[in-house]
Amino acid sequence: MIYDGRVIVDGFFQTNDNSIFATGSVAKFSRKCTTHLQMLDKFCSKEAGKALAETMFKLITVPIMPNGRIIWPQGLVPGMHPPLGDSFTSKQLSQDVIQWPRPFRPLLYKPRVVGGILVGNMRFLSVTSPSWWMVTNAKMVKSLKTNDAHKYCRVDVLPSGDVAQFIYFGSAEIKV
């Protein structure tokens, strides 16, 4: 298994050992899958877990090579569903065999939410979009902050106008 501070996985969460899959804080994508965000702990864990579950479910519905490599028919990848009634011929299957790591990264786009109640009944909440981790120049991000002595709130906005991050620290309860 390849380890570079974390377990290296391809776009289907499979390691170079064909029987081991991983996601979450222990895993990151191979550099062949993405040039930007690699660590899987920056994504919504529920969404990454669901994508891994889809991969595992499809293992029982797609052919597997004698060497253990999965044959992913075109259009039958985690997070994507083929049109109803589609069938795949053996010719299509043989054309879709790709060596590890497959250069595909699933589209994980939900925000990562971290929060809790800290000492003194202070509440903390951080909602971060995966796009925030792809920002290469922090000077391009605009931050809006509160000036209240009893709470801290910050919203970071990307040049595209998308909200990249929301952070709150204070005593008032926030409903998410």
75, containing H or E segment: none
Considering only residues 139 and 100, tell me which one the structure prediction assigns the higher pLDDT: 139
Predicted model pTM: 0.61
* CA gap 170, 120 in Å, rounded: 10
pLDDT in tens, 65-117: 666 666 655 544 444 433 333 443 444 334 444 455 665 666 677 888 899 99
* Burial profile 95-132: b = 16 or more Cβ within 10 angstroms, e = fewer: ebebebbbebbbebeebbeeeeeeeeeebebbbbbbbb
In this structure, how many other beta carbons lie within 10 angstroms of the beta carbon of residue 24? 16
State the burial class of residue 55 (Cβ atoms within 10 Å of its Cβ: 0-12, 13-18, 19+).
buried
Calculate the CA 81 to chain-centre distance.
Answer: 18
The answer to whether residues 72 and 38 belong to one domain is yes
Task: Using pLDDT thresholds of 50, 70 and 90, give the confidence band for residue 126.
Answer: very high
Q: What is the pLDDT of residue 117?
A: 92
Question: 6 pLDDT exceeds 60?
Answer: yes
Which residue range(s) make up the domain with 132?
112-170
Q: What is the pLDDT of residue 105?
A: 60
The answer to whether residues 78 and 135 belong to one domain is no
pLDDT in tens, 156-167: 998 888 888 999
The answer to whether residues 12 and 81 belong to one domain is yes
- Mean confidence (pLDDT) of the chain: 75
The answer to whether residues 148 and 77 belong to one domain is no
Task: Using pLDDT thresholds of 50, 70 and 90, give the confidence band for residue 37.
Answer: low
Please check whether residue 108 is in contact with residue 43, taking contact to mean a CB–CB distance below 8 angstroms: yes
* CA gap 46, 82 in Å, rounded: 23
* CA gap 63, 74 in Å, rounded: 13
Sequence-separated (6 or more) residues with CB below 8 Å from residue 154: 143, 144, 145, 146, 165, 166, 167
Q: What is the pLDDT of residue 85?
A: 38
Q: What is the pLDDT of residue 149?
A: 81
Task: Using pLDDT thresholds of 50, 70 and 90, give the confidence band for residue 134.
Answer: low
Q: What is the pLDDT of residue 91?
A: 40
Residue 176 falls inside a structural domain: no
Mean pLDDT of 57-63: 69
Residue of 45, 10, 46 lying closest to 25 (CA atoms): 45
Residue 103 falls inside a structural domain: no
Q: What is the pLDDT of residue 153?
A: 93
Percent of the chain with pLDDT over 90: 15
Residue 74 falls inside a structural domain: yes
Residue 2 falls inside a structural domain: no
The answer to whether residues 11 and 81 belong to one domain is yes
| Counted domains in the chain | 2
